[in-house]
Amino acid sequence: MNKVYIYKGFERFWHWMQALLIIFLALTGFEIHGSFKFFGFENAVKFHIIAAYGFIILIAFAMFWHFTTGEWKQYIPTFNNIKAQLNYYIFGIFKNAPHPTRKTQLSKLNPLQRLTYLGLKIVVIPIMVSTGILYMLYRFPQGEGIRSFVVAGLDTIAILHTLGAFILIAFFISHLYLITTGTNIFTNLKAMITGYEDLDEHENHDEVVEQISENK
Amino acid sequence: MRKTIGLILLFVLPILAVVLVVNTDKPMPTKLDKLKEKYSKKHVPGVDHSKFAQLNKKFARPQDITLECISCHTERHTEIMQSTHWRWLSDEYMKGRGIVSIGKRNILNNHCISVGGNEGTCNRCHIGYGYDSKDFDFSKAENIDCLACHDNSGKYEKEKEAAGNPKPDLDFAYIAQHVGKPKMENCGYCHFNGGGGNNSKHGDLEEALYEASKEVDVHLAKDGANMQCIDCHEAENHKMEGRLYTMASMNRGRLECEKCHSSKPHNDDIVNEHTVKIACQTCHIPIYAKVNATKTHWDWSKAGDLKDGKPYDIKDKDGNEIYLSIKGAITWEKMLKPEYKWFDGTAQHHLLEDKITQVPLVLNPLNGDYDSPDAKIVPVKVMRSIQPYDPEFKTLVAPKLWDKEVGKGGYWKDFDWNTSIAKGMEYAGRPWSGKYGFVKTEMNWILNHMVSPKEKTVQCIECHTRDNSRLAEIKDVYIPGRDYNAWVDNFGIAAIVLTFLGVLSHGTIRIVYGKKNKVKNIEEEENNE
C-alpha cells in the first residue's frame, strides 16, 4: 500500500464548505418551505440568503479551480465498467470482492460517481442556483423605491427549487452511506480530511504514465 | 497540525463574520426621526377669532354665523360646495360602466341601507343645515355648517333627527369666537359614530382614539405621535386627502402611508420589497376594533319583533345593541383579525338599479389581483348583512326607515316592510314588484387606522405558514412557507425515505455478509496453513 495525496487543499476546503453550506441551506430552506420550525421564518430567510451568496462565491472559486487545474476532466462520463461498478454495489460488495475501478490520483471517481457528480454539477446545482437567484433578486431596491422584473411563473421557479432540494437530500443520504464502502468504513472520510489515501501497491509509475497518455 | 488549524479557521471565520453582520444593531432610521420632529411642532393659530367684534353678537340662526365666516373667508364656500363632504356625490369612473355620479345620496350600504327618504336622521352628519330631502338646495352657501368641522370650543353639537341643524340652545357667539383647524373631535363626531353608534361601521375609527395609547394607534396616541386627523388628511383648499372605497371608485385623491414614510421605510430589503404587493396596513394593522366592538353582521330579517306591541332592545354586557326591534339582530366583535384582499385603488359599486347576480352580493367589490401592477393586498373589515331585496326584479330595495310620525311608512315607527319599501322605492324613483325577501350582502371596509407599534406588527410566520395563514384567501400567488406542490413534496419525501431504506438494507446486508465472510476467510486461512 502507498500513501497517495489524492485530495488537494482547495479541493477539501471546497468539499467541506460545500457540505456545510448545503446542509445549512437545506435546514433553512426547508424551514422556509414550512416543513418545520427551528430558526424562525424571518431568520431562516436571512440565513438562507447569506448562505446562498456564500455558496455562489464558493462555486465561482470551484469553477476556476476545476478549469485551471484540469480537474474537470475527472467528471467526463464513461460507460466503461459501469456494469461492473453496479454489479459490485449489488453483489460484489457483500462478498468482499475487490473494487472494480481502481482509484488513482488522475482518476478518483468510479463511473457511477462520474455520472452522479456530473449530474449534480450540470443539472441540479445550476437549477438550484438559477431558480434561487431569480426568486431572490426579481425584486430589488432602486433609488427611493422598489423595482421588479416581471417574472411569469414564480410558483414554478419555487417548486423547481424545492424539487432540487429534495434530490440533494436524497443524494446526501446515499453519499453519506457510500463513503463507507472504501477499503474500510473510514477510508474515504479520512482521505477527504487529510487528503491522503492508501492506494494499491502495484500502482506504479508506469501505470500513471499510461493513464496520462490515455487521458490525452 | 498547522494545516488542520488553518482548515478549522477557514470554516469558523466566515461563520463568525456572518454572525457579526447579522447581529449589528443598525441606527434608528432618520426618516422616522424627521417625521417625529415635524409632527411634534403643534400649530399655533395666527388669528384669535374671539377678538372679532362681528362674532361677538347674538346669532338668531346658525346660517348667520356662516355668513359672517364667508364675509372674511370670501371664497372658501366655493371650495366646500365642490367637496364630497357637501355634495354627498362624486363623479366616478367605474370599470366596465363609465362615469357615474355616486355618493351617500344614492349608494346603498348594508348598515341602515339608504340615505334617501331618511335624510331627517341620517343627515345629522351632513356638513350643512337642513338637508332634509332630495330637494335640498346645494347652491345655497349659508347652509354650509362651518362649525361641524371648525368648532374648537367643544360645545357645538348637532340636534338629533333635525337634518343637520344644531341644537337650538347653544351659545353660538362663544362657539363662533372659538373656531380653528379641525380637531379629532370634529371628525370623530361623524366618522366614529356612523351607522348607529360608536365604531359601528369602520372598526378602526372610534372614540377610543381620543385617548388612544400607542398600542391602539401610534399616530393619534397621546403617548405617541399625538397627531390629529388633518395631519395626514391634509385639506388644502378644502380638498380632503384620503378616500373610502365604500363610496369611491377611482384611484385618485388617495392618502397613502408612503406620503410620509416612503416605500422603503424598513432597514431590511426583503421587508421593503414586500411593499410592491403588500400595503403597509396589511402588516401594521394586525388587529382592529382594539378597544370597543364593531358591527360585523346585521340581520334585518329579524327586525319587527315586538313585546306587547312595542319595540324593544337587547344589549350585551358591554352595552352594544345586539337586538333591536327596529333594526334586527346585530353581531358586535372586537380584537378582530382583518380579512385580506387585492386592491388596485379602484372599486365597483352595486347600484339600486343593478340586478343581483351572485349571493352573497358584494356591494363594493375591490378590483385587482396579483397580476395588476397597482394592486396590493390590503386588510379589510368585511361587513356581512341580510337585507331586504326584491325577489321578482332581483334588485336591492331602499326602504324608508325613519319618520318622525307613525303612519308615514317609516319602518322604525310602523314595522311594516311593505309600506316602508313602497315609500322608499317611490322616493328613489325605482320600481318595486311588491314582493320582498332578504338577501345576504357583503361590504368591504378597507382598514387604514389603528396602526400598531412596530413590535406588534404582523410577523412573517403569520402569513408564511401552512395552517391558518392570514393570507389563506389570497390564492393567486405562491407564498413560500404557505404553498407547496403536493406532487413534488410527495415525490421528494418518497425519494428520501426510499434512499434511506435502500441504504439501511444495503448496510445491514453488508454487515451480515461481512461477518460470514470474516469467518470464511479465517477458515480458509486456517485451511491454507
Comparing CB atoms, the residue among A33, A41, A154 nearest residue B484 is A33
Q: When comparing pLDDT for B120 and A198, which is higher?
A: B120
Three-class SS of residue A102?
coil
Rounded Cα distance, B57 and B176, in Å = 10
Which positions in chain B touch A158 (Cβ < 8 Å)?
478, 480, 483
| Cβ B479 vs Cβ A45: under 8 Å | no
Residue B367 is placed in which grid cell?
Answer: 378590483
Burial A50-89 (b: 16+ CB within 10 A, else e): bbbebbeebbeebeebbeeeebeebbeeeeeebeebeebe
Three-class SS of residue B121?
helix
Question: What pLDDT shows up at residue B224?
Answer: 85
Residue B267 is placed in which grid cell?
Answer: 432597514
Best residue of A12, A13, A33 to probe chain B, by most B CBs closer than 10 Å: A33
Question: What pLDDT shows up at residue B21?
Answer: 65
Question: What pLDDT shows up at residue B29?
Answer: 56
Which positions in chain B touch A163 (Cβ < 8 Å)?
488, 491-492
Task: Provide the residue ranges of all domains of chain A, joining segments of one domain with +.
Answer: 2-215
Minimal-distance CA residue of chain B relative to A164:
B492
Q: What is the DSSP letter of B328?
A: E
**Nearest-CA distance B21 → chain A (Å):** 10
| Mean pLDDT within A7-36 | 96
Question: What pLDDT shows up at residue A209?
Answer: 42
Q: What is the mean pLDDT of each run of 10 residues along chain B (529 residues)?
A: 70 73 60 86 90 93 96 96 96 93 95 95 96 96 97 96 95 96 96 93 96 95 91 94 93 93 88 93 97 97 95 95 97 97 97 96 96 94 98 97 94 97 96 97 97 95 95 95 96 97 92 75 64
Residue B271 is placed in which grid cell?
Answer: 421587508
CB B510 to CB A177 under 8 A? no
| Cβ A200 vs Cβ A7: under 8 Å | no
Q: Which CATH architecture has domain A2-215?
A: Up-down Bundle (1.20)
How many angstroms from the chain centroid is the CA of residue A21? 11
H-helix or E-strand spanning residue B147: helix B146-150
Question: What pLDDT shows up at residue A208?
Answer: 43
Rounded Cα distance, B188 and B122, in Å = 16
Question: What pLDDT shows up at residue A103?
Answer: 80
CB B499 to CB A173 under 8 A? yes
| Mean pLDDT within A56-60 | 96
Q: How confident is the model at residue A199 (pLDDT cuts 50, 70, 90)?
A: confident
Question: What pLDDT shows up at residue A215?
Answer: 42
CA distances from B164 to A186, B63, B76, B111 (A): 90, 12, 20, 20
The residue written with cell numbers 359599486 in the block is: B349
Say what the ipTM of the complex is: 0.87
CA distances from B79 to A15, B70, B84, B228, B259 (A): 74, 12, 10, 22, 24
Indicate whether A149 pLDDT > 50.
yes
User: Which 77-106 residues of chain A touch chain B by CB within 8 A?
Assistant: 89, 93-96
Which positions in chain A touch B459 (Cβ < 8 Å)?
41-42
Question: What pLDDT shows up at residue B139?
Answer: 96
Task: Provide the residue ranges of all domains of chain B, joining segments of one domain with +.
Answer: 258-397+432-483, 398-423, 487-529
Query: Model confidence over A78-105: pLDDT tens digits?
Result: 887 888 888 888 888 888 788 888 787 7
Best residue of B468, B506, B512, B521 to probe chain A, by most A CBs closer than 10 Å: B506
Comparing CB atoms, the residue among B272, B460, B464 nearest residue A146 is B272
**Nearest-CA distance B262 → chain A (Å):** 7
Question: What pLDDT shows up at residue A194?
Answer: 93
**Nearest-CA distance A76 → chain B (Å):** 25
Best residue of B268, B465, B484 to probe chain A, by most A CBs closer than 10 Å: B484
Q: How confident is the model at residue A201 (pLDDT cuts 50, 70, 90)?
A: low
Query: Beta strand pairing status for B376-390 and B294-299?
Result: parallel
Residue A167 near chain B (CB below 8 Å): yes
CB B480 to CB A32 under 8 A? yes
CB B492 to CB A166 under 8 A? yes
Phi, psi of A177 (to 5 degrees): -75, -45
Please give the full DSSP string across A21-41, using - where no structure is assigned. Answer: HHHHHHHHHHHHTTS--SS-H
Q: How confident is the model at residue A106 (pLDDT cuts 50, 70, 90)?
A: confident
Question: What pLDDT shows up at residue B34?
Answer: 87
* Beta-carbon count within 10 A of A186 CB: 12
Best residue of B488, B511, B512 to probe chain A, by most A CBs closer than 10 Å: B488
| Cβ B423 vs Cβ B430: under 8 Å | no
Q: How confident is the model at residue A212 (pLDDT cuts 50, 70, 90)?
A: very low
